């Protein structure tokens, strides 16, 4: 039975508690696959992510220490870090670990679960994988921009992260678009995707069972 005041969510799924996020970034990244992102009537299932593991990770925005842009990354886990890329695209990250760690997980692709009409409107009529495969596309479909910086995903209202079916098989591979990082960090298999999903961004080459 639902208690008074408890929110009814898509398919009865529950918001994840703060402690879900305050763990090792690679563990959280993997477990984010299959979880639901909800914003109003739009519900997406996460199909692809990348882990950015703090200032020692030369691919991470936190590599240069705390700045105005990356400030949300240094906060406690469970909040959003949204930044503008190439002057055009909003990138949604989920902050992980404890306050001061500077780690986050980039949401790279999702599949639609609910609100397809809204998604289609926001994506200019697109509804196949080209609508949600790619980090800029995910934020656009969810209706998220930088005003959602620091937004807590474990609280009711706005954007929420809900439980979802655990992934069956996971693919791993090197992260995309980080040629500025050291060669060893470029090679780290910190990109995770749901095996067999059509809703995975390019390039798909380099993803292997893991």
Establish if 17 lies at the interface with DNA (CB under 7 A).
Answer: no
CA distance 176 to 116: 27
Establish if 150 lies at the interface with DNA (CB under 7 A).
Answer: no
Establish if 79 lies at the interface with DNA (CB under 7 A).
Answer: no
Contacts of 65 (CB under 8 A, 6+ apart): 55
Establish if 25 lies at the interface with DNA (CB under 7 A).
Answer: no
Establish if 153 lies at the interface with DNA (CB under 7 A).
Answer: no
CA distance 92 to 72: 12
Establish if 70 lies at the interface with DNA (CB under 7 A).
Answer: yes
Which of 55, 135, 152, 167 touches DNA (CB under 7 A)? 135
Decide whether 10 or 126 has the Cβ nearer to DNA.
126
Cα–Cα nearest to 144, from 163, 167, 161: 161
Establish if 120 lies at the interface with DNA (CB under 7 A).
Answer: no
Phi/psi at 129 (nearest 5 deg)? -55, -25
Cα–Cα nearest to 47, from 129, 127, 122: 129
Establish if 205 lies at the interface with DNA (CB under 7 A).
Answer: no
Establish if 11 lies at the interface with DNA (CB under 7 A).
Answer: no
- Please report how close the Cβ of residue 6 comes to DNA at its closest, in angstroms: 33
Contacts of 33 (CB under 8 A, 6+ apart): 46, 47, 48, 49, 167, 170, 192, 193, 194
Establish if 121 lies at the interface with DNA (CB under 7 A).
Answer: no
Residues that bind DNA (CB under 7 A): 50, 52, 59-62, 64, 67-70, 73, 83-89, 91, 93, 104, 106, 123, 126, 130, 134-138, 175-180, 201
């Amino acid at each position: 039975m639902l208690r008074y005041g408890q929110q009814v969510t898509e398919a009865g799924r529950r918001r994840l508690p703060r402690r879900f996020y305050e763990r090792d970034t690679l563990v959280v990244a993997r477990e984010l696959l299959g979880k639901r992102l909800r914003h109003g009537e739009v519900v997406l299932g996460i199909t692809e992510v990348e882990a950015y593991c703090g200032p020692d990770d030369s691919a991470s925005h936190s590599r240069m220490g705390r700045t105005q842009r990356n400030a949300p990354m240094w906060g406690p886990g469970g909040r959003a870090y949204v930044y503008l890329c190439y002057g055009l695209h909003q990138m949604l990250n989920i902050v992980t670990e404890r306050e001061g760690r500077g780690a986050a997980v980039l949401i790279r692709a999702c599949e639609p679960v609910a609100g397809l009409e809204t998604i289609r409107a926001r994506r200019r009529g697109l509804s196949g994988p080209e609508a949600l495969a790619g980090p800029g596309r995910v934020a656009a479909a969810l209706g998220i921009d930088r005003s959602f910086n620091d937004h807590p995903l474990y609280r009711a209202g706005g954007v929420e992260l809900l439980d979802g079916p655990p992934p069956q098989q996971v693919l791993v591979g090197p992260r995309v678009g980080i040629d500025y990082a050291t060669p060893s960090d470029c090679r780290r298999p910190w990109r995770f995707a749901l095996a067999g999903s059509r809703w995975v961004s390019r390039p798909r080459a380099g993803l292997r069972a893991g």
